[in-house]
Structure 1
Amino acid sequence: MAWKGLIGRSGQKKGGVQDMLAKQRYIKMERVLNGSGMDTVVLELDLLLDGETIIAEGRSFPLKDVYDISYRIVGGQLGILYLHTSSGVYPFNVEEDPAAFILAFKRTASRR
């Protein structure tokens, strides 16, 4: 497995950055076929929290459908942040402590 390195790419919010309450960087690995085999591309993406939604790459989660967020450390610097939603549990690989993101979610959810 070859590593192609990090490619910076951020989630986009339709309403503008000023509405964002919290941001959490996560890592997504994609396997890509090239002429000599498979490569793994590592993407750095953002989970964005506003007053109504958590936005991830290609998907948004209305806060009314998010029951909880949990976090588990799985090794050295890597952990998994879990979004518990009405349509299932969604894992996100994180390298930075998501405590501030989780706290912002809980504060926002408690106002609903």
Structure 2
Amino acid sequence: MTGMSALQMTANDASPLMPTVWEGIAAGSSIAYFVLAVWATVAILGSRENFSLPNTLALILTAWFAPVLGPILVLITAYRQPRPAPTTAAPETTATPERLSH
């Protein structure tokens, strides 16, 4: 990629490091789920009434695995989409007698 800056790249040359819409959704949902997980953990551990160990563990595990599993599933779905093949220039054709006569 000598002589070409990142701004000169075409859409077909897009790097996998450039975020996609799906990655933006994954990051946003991950942050939202993380805040929800912290809130749920504090709320669950802070309440002593109706304490049930299986329910508490299920809620905490769900709250803490959602920020990890949600974006992973979104990214797997995004990367399984077919990517467009890079376009190449048409090969040069040789001049034929029919073309030269016109």
Q: TM-score, normalised by structure 1?
A: 0.21
Q: TM-score, normalised by structure 2?
A: 0.22
Considering only CA atoms, is the larger Rg found in Structure 1 or Structure 2?
Answer: 2
Higher helix fraction: Structure 1 or Structure 2?
A: 2
Higher strand fraction: Structure 1 or Structure 2?
A: 1
